[in-house]
Amino acid sequence: MNFMPQRFWGVARAPLAAPADHPLVNYGRIGVLLVNLGTPDGTSYWPMRRYLKEFLSDRRVIEANSVVWWLILNMVVLTKRPFTSGEAYRSVWNSERDESPLRTITRSQSDKIGALLARDPRIEVDWAMRYGNPSIKSRLEALQEKGCDRILIFPLYPQYSAATSATACDKTFDALKEMRWQPAIRVVPPYFEDPDYIDALASSTKARIAALDFEPEVVISSFHGLPRSYTDAGDPYYCHCAKTVRLLGDALGWSENRLLLTFQSRFGSAEWLQPYTADTIADLAQRGVKRVAVMTPGFSSDCIETLEEMGIQGAEIFLENGGEKFAALPCLNDSNESIDTLTTIVKRELSGWVDF
């Protein structure tokens, strides 16, 4: 730690020295923390149960009556769902690393962004999960130990929702409550209409479709669903998703009939944002559409919802209803387009802390 000369009434004084027993304090560095949704540590019952309990106990995710939901969650959901969810995760699990694809890809995104920003030795890039490991708290503490007294939190959700972006911030602020010396915090805003993000989606979509052995008649742009009541209460998520699709359609030069907006992953019996992806896939096949591709621009990384729900379940629904060719297009993941976009956003949001 450096101590600067002090002035009292204009007279220079000797540098102040810390007491001999003063603890070592690292400071002066800048952290960037990428935050994704979460992942279980394994596919067996207990890791899945721990993950699902943390996820489904979040009041940002489930806004039902807390007493009633506690009974449903602990007496019904957590006795059955860990088995079915574990089976779904096993179908897409990264067996080589023994981890979910989401963990693999998020780590790679962090490593690649860190490499691009390594020109400034003050910057440290890390990653965390809102649910599961590594936790937000553990990575904030690790960044602080490395001397990061300014940290940029980057929720990896292009479209804002209280159930995603806000709960990542909640967990961040919960960790800050326990810190004696809090770092200064910035949060990356939603980037659903960011030109670099739209260009990356358009470029990736063109390349992914060109690599197929068929030309899709319709491309479905599927986003994770949200209860309708959440948007009625003021959540901007639907509007963000709709604008992303409109801008992407403009960038691709496609009509509204070629690029459809839908919502997947409905849970429970309440009304969710519509149209539902599964129903749309079945309806297209029943109406004679033979070739369909699904993209998921609301996910920054491939995960259970994109690989299993769309790639496996979506294909089964389409083929069972008379379709012939179906493809689930990969997310941006850790592609060059993705890393360039995310790095550009990080640089912009670090402005004033770092001069690039």
Give the pLDDT score at 11.
Answer: 46
What pTM does this model have?
Answer: 0.92
Amino acid of residue 31:
G
Give the pLDDT score at 13.
Answer: 53
Domain 195-328: CATH architecture, name and number where available = 3-Layer(aba) Sandwich (3.40)
The contacts of residue 159 (CB under 8 Å, 6+ apart) are 190, 192, 223, 237, 240, 241, 244, 298
Q: Binding site residues, as ranges?
A: 224, 305
Q: Binding site residues for Fe(2+), as ranges?
A: 224, 305
Does residue 305 contact residue 223 with C-beta atoms inside 8 Å? no
Give the pLDDT score at 284.
Answer: 98
Read off the tokens for 321: 């209803």
Q: pLDDT tens string for the chain (356 positions)?
A: 444 444 434 444 555 677 777 777 788 999 999 999 999 999 999 999 999 999 999 999 999 999 999 999 999 999 999 999 999 999 999 999 999 999 999 999 999 999 999 999 999 999 999 999 999 999 999 999 999 999 999 999 999 999 999 999 999 999 999 999 999 999 999 999 999 999 999 999 999 999 999 999 999 999 999 999 999 999 999 999 999 999 999 999 999 899 999 999 998 889 999 999 999 999 999 999 999 999 999 999 999 999 999 999 999 999 999 999 999 999 999 999 999 999 999 999 999 999 88
Give the pLDDT score at 16.
Answer: 66
The contacts of residue 290 (CB under 8 Å, 6+ apart) are 217, 322, 323, 324, 325
Does residue 203 contact residue 211 with C-beta atoms inside 8 Å? no
Domain boundaries, given as residue ranges, for the chain = 195-328
